[in-house]
């Protein structure tokens, strides 16, 4: 399937893409957290689809991204 930009319809991955921000997160039944990540544009101009990534993976690779997301949620609770 091709997207509007005529690029392959692919999810992003931490091993080859750079995350831009976390758009949402979901607590799973086993108390783990799944984050939905928006990605930066690739060198070829394509942009990966939003992808589910575990918070533990993000904690190990992009901890500031995770902190920024959690802080943004704390601000909305005020």
Domain membership flag for residue 45: yes
pLDDT digits (tens, 9 = 90+) for 8-57: 558 899 999 999 999 999 999 999 999 999 999 999 999 999 999 999 99
Domain membership flag for residue 26: yes
Q: Are 9 and 46 in contact (CB under 8 A)?
A: no
Q: Residue 4: pLDDT above 80?
A: no
pLDDT category of residue 3 using cuts at 50, 70 and 90: very low
Domain membership flag for residue 5: no
Domain membership flag for residue 51: yes
Among all chains, which residue has been given the structure tokens 């799973």? 28
* Measured CA distances, 2 to 7, 38, 77 (Å): 6, 18, 39
Strands of the chain (E only): list them.
19-27, 33-39, 51-54
Side-chain half-sphere exposure of 51, counting CA atoms within 13 A = 21
- Cα–Cα distance between 68 and 21 in angstroms, integer? 9
């Amino acid at each position: 399937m091709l997207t509007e930009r005529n690029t392959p319809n692919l999810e992003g991955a931490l091993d080859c893409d750079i995350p831009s921000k976390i758009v949402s997160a979901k607590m799973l039944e086993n108390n783990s957290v799944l984050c939905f990540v928006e990605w930066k544009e690739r060198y070829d101009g394509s942009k990966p689809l939003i992808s589910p990534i575990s918070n533990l993976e993000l904690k190990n690779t992009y901890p500031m991204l995770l902190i920024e997301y959690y802080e943004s949620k704390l601000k909305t609770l005020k």
